Amino acid sequence: MILRKIDGQFYNRDMPAVNSLRRRFGRKSAFSAEVIEGYDEKSDGKSRKSTKIDAVQTRGTDENSQDQTLDVNNGSDFKGNANGKNNGGRKRTDISSESYLQTVIRRFRRHHLATVSLIILAVIVGAALLAPVIAPYDPNDIAGPFAGAPSKEFWLGTDQIGRDVLSRLLYATRISLLVGVMATLISTVIGVLLGLVAGYFGGVADMVIMRFTDMVMSFPYILLVLVAAAIFKPGLWNIILILGFVDWPGIARLVRGNVLNLRETNFVKGNIVAGMPLRHILFSEILPNTVAPILVYATSVLALSILDEAALSFLGQGVQPPEASLGNMLNGAQSLTVLTTQPWLWIPPGLLIVVVVMAINFIGDALRDALDPNGGR
């Protein structure tokens, strides 16, 4: 027999009152389950012994509503029968003992496109890291004919001066990923620190930091990057620093907004009353609760940094030859002759940029849903 306990009263599942309450509050109300062992309908109820099992929490539309399902069939439990199925024959997933990391992974795996993107990105990153091992030629050596078409010896052909395109593509991916990751780390550190200070202290510090942030964001982004690249000499590390120092405003505003909410919570006020040091409050109490939105936003910064490096290198203001990057590999495709008669010079790097950026964006979307504390089960 299946009973439902609502506001301390037991009802049959099929009773109109229960169905009415379910329509009112929906299935997303917090509920727990209790297994009644040794229940005897003929007894006076004094010998009943209850064993509480783990609660399954989901977001509800009314915090005061509570919908409890009890299975008092002899020998059965909340998880279903011995075959691990409920009465409807469908398998139940026990999420009551999951850790937060397991919950995030389970939610992430529901996004099949993001899972495929993660696999593709892992393959690309692995190939880039192993470039010195798997590249058939040195990326800067003249190994074949000028502008040679793809062949058995040169799978992606050769460029205008006879360098193997596949070897250069592997090394170029390393450079572009390095620029994206390092620029993202720099911008994240700057944005997190400024956001923590502005959100926690408020007052003059908040006003100064936010006005400076608004000023940086008011400049046209690509123009700001080009001016900075023109002032500082083009090069790998200069591009990393430039992109790192212009991508932080969005993260700073995000962190500040979260800190403004967190500093009013009881656990932060409790640490202040207890006399905990400021470093502990900021980096052990507040910062861990802002990691999820920071991580999601960082994926978009990573994709943007890779695109910016490609654009700057294409324009000759980024990574300089002979060092290969995805952007300067496209630089040679500016002529109409290359675009029409030598597609192997621009399709591989261009396609790789599109695949990497799309994969990162899909992963970011899945992380946003997986890390959402108010998300579904």
DSSP 254-297: HHHHHHHHHTTSHHHHHHHHTT--HHHIIIIIIGGGGHHHHHHH
Task: Look up residue 83 and give its two tokens.
Answer: 């075959």
> Which has the closest alpha carbon to 375: 266, 292, 267, 256?
292
Please provide the average confidence, as pLDDT, over all residues in the chain: 79
For 15-67, the pLDDT digits (tens) are: 555 455 455 555 444 444 443 334 444 444 444 444 443 443 434 444 444 44
Q: Which residues of 184-197 are buried (b: 16+ CB within 10 A; e: fewer)?
A: bebbbebbbbbbbb
What is the arithmetic mean of pLDDT over 70-93?
Answer: 46
Three-point CA angle 147, 356, 311, nearest 5°? 65
pTM for the model: 0.72
DSSP 152-182: SSSTT-B-TTS-BHHHHHHHHHHHHHHHHHH
Three-point CA angle 222, 227, 232, nearest 5°? 125
The most confident of 100-114, 162-176, 328-342, by mean pLDDT: 162-176
Q: State the pLDDT at residue 65.
A: 42
Longest CA pairwise span in the chain (Å) = 96
Q: Which domains does the chain have, with CATH numbers?
A: 2-97 (no CATH), 106-370 (1.10.3720.10)
Residue whose entry in the numeric block shows the structure tokens 């890291």:
129
- Which percentage of the chain shows pLDDT scores above 90? 41
Q: State the pLDDT at residue 338.
A: 83
Q: Residue 354: is its pLDDT beyond 80? A: yes
What is the arithmetic mean of pLDDT over 244-272?
Answer: 92
Confidence label for 3 from pLDDT (cuts 50, 70 and 90): low
Partners of 34 in beta bridges: 52, 70
36-44 own/partner pairs: CB under 8 Å, 24+ apart = 36/70, 36/72, 39/72
